[in-house]
Structure 1
């Protein structure tokens, strides 16, 4: 059990509390490592949530009240709403990648206040998955600058980008939501603004218009995740609705972001082709020529997990009617060694090919960077 720490031990807040986001965050308790509490970034996060109880813990990974506590299944959304964790990122490394980015940057956060039923991040944390903010942002951005410098200019184009090294800064979280909690995302965007050979990238399901004021200067790529609205209403719990995400795309392009589309996950079910065709037509009708000229997309068919399936049965069983379909799925070992399930090879191949055909005929301006 952690120890409650009085907030008066820390400096007064220097960052005002963000405006409420439709009840997404109503933080009542903050678990924090001592080093995170003693940092400038940690104090500023605490200043945004002055009424929260602060509980000191030895490690952001060792919180029995959260991790592995099966009793939290029926509090799945409440924990995401009311709890934050502050920690220090101790191991800094950029992992090679070859799909959405060239490198996975060291995390500045993990977990999420949203509750997408297919999210893979909870598989590592057990029964709770609130936002953990890493407060040693200066170390992380310093590491990234040095890593980019070591790469030198990009020698030849690849599917990630024709001229820049691309770093995914949001593998384990949603940066648009993280920006409601701390200035880490603003610092990352500012860092890449000064790196002419690299750009940041993150996927998001949340429209945070505060990001429009950060002047990315074309060095940050936002990948808006999209799926047909009937799927999103069931699976994308606590996210911005699809019409809001589409409505923000042109605005982010105008603000200096590169904006790509993330068709993920593609869920194969009765009527999926008609619903995806309607979504693609809407994009074709609504997006400006400037947005279309710089757009690209990635296509990712659903991957699921037995442990997450069991968790979902405890708080959102209706989602599993779409996600858990053993008659068309097969086991797959992931890169981190976990056993997941995905569509059978023949089912997946046919689904990928059909969606590519729909894009080619309905939104021919949209280049697909990769599909799997």
Structure 2
């Protein structure tokens, strides 16, 4: 019998957990989901010897994502102002991902392993969010995030659709925003988890399906849902009560990129229903890559770097944390971004671009 997408993504064999995890109901629930997993107690979910910062782990990049789970407590609760995709970045309920997109920035912080970490003190996180929303009051004026609601980005360092395979944290967040007027949760995803269709979001959660041309996705979006499956899911998620937007990210430039994006936009226009198109909006994010991540990727997926690491098209940019990033050369990037914006307006008319950079 063929394995489901969830079974292909996750087969948890080892769980690293902080001692206090057993004191939380969510921690006990997650452990009960994986009764055959080896349990390894660790002092901190952020410091696991042999897993994080171990160059030898690059050989087990995908194996760790599939077979390892980390459980801990989220100690610092803060909703950070954003202003791009969301008004605020919500405190995370997880970190890491079972998928293996080769451009993902999260491994830069973890070194050579990036499995899912679930935070089990969900009650504290939900309570913090409720109080934060209450302090904001009504949104005074529309902005690019939303015309009416304060938008909170969920799962900044992971994928909520995949997290929902591991715990009920994501469902708790969807339920929170379903009952909270004036606020909306929002997350980007590359995985179609149809279990979410049985929930009751009541318009309080925005799902942003990340899309890129098919061939590019096959080479860079490892272990994700196929692009066609993501596009086909838009109507179903709108019908289930979600707001659905598109996330054209990252835009990876190479010879022939324009024709590939034109074909993708035409497919969206053909597949997505008029009702879903009426509420559709998108964001566009051009690729930023990283020198350290480039070196890591050469150890497990070097073919992807042929597309991501293009010194002939890119220029260095030092981040606030001191890391060496590369982005497309400024003058060229502006020209290419304008071309893509014009293409969206032509092939997907009515789809508002919330922001692009």
Identify whether the pair has TM-score above 0.5, normalized to the shorter chain.
Answer: yes
Equivalent residue of 1:202, what SS?
Answer: strand
1:129-152 alpha-carbon deviations (Å, 9 max, x no partner) = 000000000000000000000000
Matched with 1:270 is 255
Matched with 2:132 is 147
Equivalent residue of 2:173, what SS?
Answer: helix
Alignment partner of 2:90 out of 105, 109, 113: 105
Say whether the 8 Å CA contact 1:264–1:301 is kept in structure 2.
yes
Aligned-partner Cα distance in 2 for 1:112–1:318: 21
- The correspondence of residues 218-367 of structure 1 with structure 2, limited to 5 A, is 218-367=203-352
Equivalent residue of 1:326, what SS?
Answer: coil
Q: Is 2:63 the counterpart of 1:78?
A: yes
Aligned-partner Cα distance in 2 for 1:60–1:348: 39
Aligned-partner Cα distance in 2 for 1:142–1:312: 39
1:7-37 alpha-carbon deviations (Å, 9 max, x no partner) = xxxxxxxxxxxx7614100000000001113
Matched with 1:163 is 148
Q: Is 2:185 the counterpart of 1:204?
A: no
1:329-355 alpha-carbon deviations (Å, 9 max, x no partner) = 111233444321110101211111010
Say whether the 8 Å CA contact 1:37–1:86 is kept in structure 2.
no
1:240-280 alpha-carbon deviations (Å, 9 max, x no partner) = 00011011010000000000000000010011100100010
Over 3 Å counting, the alpha-carbon distance change for 1:74 and 1:25 in structure 2 is same
After the TM superposition, which segments of 4 or more aligned residues of structure 1 sit over 4 Å from their partners? none
Say whether the 8 Å CA contact 1:284–1:363 is kept in structure 2.
yes
Alignment partner of 1:32 out of 13, 17, 37: 17
Equivalent residue of 2:84, what SS?
Answer: coil
Aligned-partner Cα distance in 1 for 2:345–2:322: 35
Aligned-partner Cα distance in 2 for 1:142–1:214: 21
- The correspondence of residues 41-190 of structure 1 with structure 2, limited to 5 A, is 41-190=26-175
Could you tell me how far 1:327 is from its partner in structure 2? 1.3
What are structure 2's unaligned runs of at least 5 residues? Answer: none
Equivalent residue of 1:203, what SS?
Answer: strand
1:218-251 alpha-carbon deviations (Å, 9 max, x no partner) = 0000000000000000000000000110110100
Aligned Cα root-mean-square deviation (Å): 0.9
Say whether the 8 Å CA contact 1:309–1:320 is kept in structure 2.
yes
